[in-house]
Structure 1
Amino acid sequence: MHDLFAPAAPAARNARVHVGIGGWTYAPWRGGAFYPEGLVQRRELEYASRQLTAIEINGTYYGAQKPATYAKWRDETPPGFVFTAKAPKRIMASRRLAGTGAQIEDFVGGICELGDRLGALSWQFERGRAPTPTELEAFLALLPARAGGRPLRHALELREAALFSPQVLALMRQRNVALVFAGSDEHPSFADLTADFVYARLMQARAGLPLGYAEAELDAWARRAGEWAAGGDPAELPHVEPPRPAQAPREVFVFFIASAKERNPAAARALLERLA
């Protein structure tokens, strides 16, 4: 089993670009599709974290885990690997965002047990949730800049077209909160840069393609990820405002999420190979 758990080749890892999938427990990934035949379920995180460089924890949207569970996940993954995590739905669905401070503190206080494996936290407003700029400003002010002695990164995913405005982008830039780019046909997708890192969720995999995406599409995403990491702002992606001039290099998180989920690990590995 040793070879199965050897880390991905160093050449396939890019210190600034983290590439992965949503979660690691999914039956269609077993039996050789992604996880090797016979791999026991309790070792799936150990394996996935050595093939990819990031995983977005989706389960936290439905319920936070105990701090000891986060610590266990931390210890099962290799140095350089990172998690991101979606904030609990009970926070994001609150009708009084300014009053969620205690819930935010509770969530962050537990998940900071991931230590240096925690790359960013994602705060997703579902379709139908369109807080006013005043409400959004009060909410962003509650997001802590540090926890557990480490700096925190926050990313905001918006799914109501009305929220994509220069005013909202300005609020996010004031707090160094990244706008999540949703590479999706279903949700609004804008790639404006609002922080010193980038968070992209690609949701257009097709079951009929072995890698979920065409080779040319993966080539394009590798180029964009490299441009983001170098401080650029890919002009061909949709923007609310004109693309911004080149800035300092930044970290980038790219996740293959949803759609033909069975193809997402292959897409992530293919992107990592292109970034080598």
Structure 2
Amino acid sequence: MAEFHDQSGREWLLEFDSYGNTYYRPARSFSGSFCAHNYLRNTVDYLSNMMLAPNETMTIIAGPHPRFKSIRREFTFQLEPCRFAQRIMAARESVARELRTDLALIPAENNEILSERLDEQAGHKHVAQRVLDHDENTSDASPLRYQNYQLMKALLTRRAVERFLGRLRFEGRHIEYDWLKLWPDWDTQVQNGDDLVKALLRLGSVTCIGRECVIEGNDRRVVRDGVGLHSEARHEFWPRDFVDELLLLRARIANEWMAHLTPEAIKEEHLQIMRAHLKRTTPDT
């Protein structure tokens, strides 16, 4: 979205395929601005449909301004969705290169989380390590690299939690499954994923009796809605025991994404989109 400086282009993109209503919410906070961790769209379909969208004639009216005695002016131009799709594909190639570099930093991010917690437990002052060495004022990276990095970590953590939930359910650990499914508030509390992992490390024990789960030293209660609700047996577990597996999953998923973000893979995907577009728009002879 930052690549489109003209207001008409931004508005068209937000309206296309209901992107603005579903995927983008302007807000000051990171978590309020993007909810993409809930919606990973099919890129090929999205860009293919954009390339097929018809051109639109747009008219911009400027003036008159009473203070500067300006006159009314009208500017008419053609808005070409096909060119928008090409610009987005060019931006994707640039961002993909950065993401491959940044995904390799996830093991260091995981180590930083554990190191901070160890220092807390030992009563030492933690000296934070800057894992992503990026300065927006001097770097030639994309303008939203830092925000993309935070979003990437949020997506990784979300996917890691989903896989871990699948494992809990497969192993029949329904109480822990219900609690972890309901406890994180992804839209308002989870920022970049690291904060969720840190919260799990700091939480006290969770005690579940029947439907209600109570966290030691925490006022928030979770009411279960899954398997075994009528069981009155007391069950206790520690959320910190989830962390090792979640961090391993984050690193594993990061490696999987790196394999999908090779320059060759991205270019081939874009060629597939353009070949399909030419095939659909070229008349049969």
Q: Same fold (TM over 0.5)?
A: no
**TM-score, scaled relative to structure 2:** 0.25
Flag the structure with higher helix content. 2
Q: Which has the larger radius of gyration?
A: 2
Superposition TM-score, scaled by structure 1 size: 0.26
